[in-house]
Amino acid sequence: MSRHGLNVRLLSAGPLVTMVDRFAFAPVLIPIALDFHAPLGAVAIGATAYYLAYGLAQPAWGFASDRFGRIRVMRLSLAATAAGCALSALAPNLGLLIAARIVDGAAVCAILPTALVYVGDMVPFNARHAVIADVLAAVAIGTAAGSLGGGLFAHYASWRLVFGLTAVVAAALVVAMRRLPESDIAPAAGGPAAQVREALRRPWARFLILFGLPEGAMVLGFLVYFAPALESTGTNPAVAGLVVAAYGGAVLVGTRVVKVLAPRVPAWVPITIGGVMAVAGFGAAALDQHAAAILFASVMIGGCYAFMHSTMQAWATDIAPEVRGTAAALFVTSAFTGGAIGSGVGALLAQQRHFGELFGAAVALSVPVVILAAVMRARYPGAAVAAGVGEVAGS
């Protein structure tokens, strides 16, 4: 499928691998704990470390993509991801597994943001959200495949297999992505510090990058505990992975709806829709951690990702067009740092099996985040106007 001069299917294969890698870990937390005879809280450190590495490595990849090109960076990231996944599959103990997940998180983090920035380079802003929705459809498939595959492999064979297969696919994509043309951009002037200054000179960019912390905690940090919460009620990992895989199905359906909706309504509308879904989903999980409630929660948070988070991602590609890769990377850094904080706080409650309180905290965070996101997006004038006005509404 080619749109706007780019092969969307091949481009989307990289983000698909990213999601398989990210979402395979949640259903295997308890099997890993049993395999290594370690407490669940200790294994959950692997998820937190992965998110933290995913976020903190973003600026370096963003600088590189602005200077050396998007496709080159994605191929390098995929090669490093293949190595990180192979190390995860072969890890003989928990310490080395956590180290492998750190390597993997620092490598795989470049793929999805750089793909979105590549779309930003190749597609006009008013048509961008629809193409991003196509990329996020692959994200949805990868999410479902990771959740389901992780659970099935852990229950019927070994949790290691999903990481081994991901390593093979990532290595194959390093070769396949040679077919994608590099976007025609002028290399960013100056070093990393100059690129950061350029990205942060606009108040709207500063706002959105900072706002990524609570938004990331809400959207990315708590859902990793859906599968462990369900497994804590006696459900096996295969069924838990199947239930949580509904998240990916919801993202897939949601992105199809957003693709049609985005050109027709103001951007604050999908943000609000997604935010309401998040509050409903986390609320259901706070009240009950059995299959029906976690299934509903997975669908609702998947809808939140499709409606709200995809709109935030599209917004991040517009806040500093001169250094688009750096600005988008800083937003993702903030979001995944927030996700790491959320999953880290959640680990304290998960260790005690206090899943109701964990998801209750997610509800309390979500309400103000959604309100602020919708209000500020409604007031955003666009990159060109914002550069001239030079101020965030209310600043």
Predicted local confidence at residue 63, as pLDDT: 80
> Is pLDDT above 70 for 390?
no
Q: What is the DSSP string of 279-341?
A: HHHHHHHHH--SHHHHHHHHHHHHHHIIIIIHHHHHHHTTS-GGGHHHHHHHHHHHHHHHHHH
Kindly report the average pLDDT of the chain as a whole number.
85
Q: What tens digit of pLDDT does each residue of 135-165 get? A: 878 887 888 888 788 888 888 889 999 999 9
Asked if 159 and 150 touch (Cβ cutoff 8 Å), the reply is yes
Say which range, 47-51, 146-150, 183-187, 376-380, has the weakest mean pLDDT: 183-187
- Tell me: domain 7-178+190-389, CATH 2.60.40.10, correct? no
- Hey, how many other C-beta atoms are within 10 angstroms of the C-beta on 391? 11
User: How large is the C-alpha radius of gyration of the chain?
Assistant: 19
Among 195, 232, 237, 257, smallest CA distance to 60 is for 195
Residue type, 198: E
Among 327, 295, 24, smallest CA distance to 147 is for 24
Predicted local confidence at residue 393, as pLDDT: 34
Say which range, 38-42, 169-173, 214-218, has the weakest mean pLDDT: 38-42
Average pLDDT of the residues in 182-186: 71
Pairing mode, if any, of strands 2-3 and 6-7?
antiparallel
Predicted local confidence at residue 185, as pLDDT: 66
Asked if 194 and 66 touch (Cβ cutoff 8 Å), the reply is no
The percent helix, strand, coil of the chain (3-state, each to 5) is: 80, 0, 15
Rounded Cα distance between 358 and 356, Å, is: 5
Say which range, 187-191, 255-259, 302-306, 360-364, has the weakest mean pLDDT: 187-191
Average pLDDT of the residues in 15-31: 87
- Helix and strand tally (H, E) in the chain? 20, 2
Annotated domain spans of the chain: 7-178+190-389
Q: What tens digit of pLDDT does each residue of 108-129 get? A: 989 988 888 888 788 776 677 6
Predicted local confidence at residue 247, as pLDDT: 84
Give, in order, the Cα–Cα distances in Å from 223 to each of 186, 203, 376, 377.
Answer: 39, 31, 25, 24
Predicted local confidence at residue 242, as pLDDT: 79
Predicted local confidence at residue 281, as pLDDT: 96
Q: What tens digit of pLDDT does each residue of 61-78 get? A: 888 888 888 899 999 999
Q: What tens digit of pLDDT does each residue of 246-295 get? A: 888 888 888 889 888 888 899 899 999 999 999 999 999 999 999 999 99
Say which range, 16-20, 339-343, 369-373, has the weakest mean pLDDT: 339-343
